[in-house]
Amino acid sequence: MSILSITFHTIEDRIEEWDIYVENDLHQMVKNLIDVEKYILSEVHSDMINEGKNTNLFLWFDNDQIRDQFMESELVNLEERIAQKFGPEVMIFPTFLNPKKKRF
């Protein structure tokens, strides 16, 4: 199992438009990903965020190789689409999660 967490930070002025994009476009793209077995798309609530909004996409892959392939192709495509629509007003932060211990 291999996990990737992608956080999208949206500036305050674009939150409404971003929320619509997440519900329609982003969710549809995630549903269509072939190599992703499971995912969680969620809003991030934190007392530490004073400006803008964070959204997180948590992706499970069968192994590190598939996750790496996703990073090289699908994430690049996703970043390009978001950049075309939102420019620098949505920042994308991918984080590799490498489980040491787990229980599901």
Each residue's pLDDT tens digit, 29-53: 999 988 887 999 999 987 766 789 9
Q: Inform me whether the pLDDT recorded for 12 exceeds 70.
A: yes
% helix / strand / coil in the chain, to the nearest 5?
Answer: 45, 30, 25
* CB of 52 closer than 8 Å to CB of 9: yes
pLDDT reported for residue 11? 94
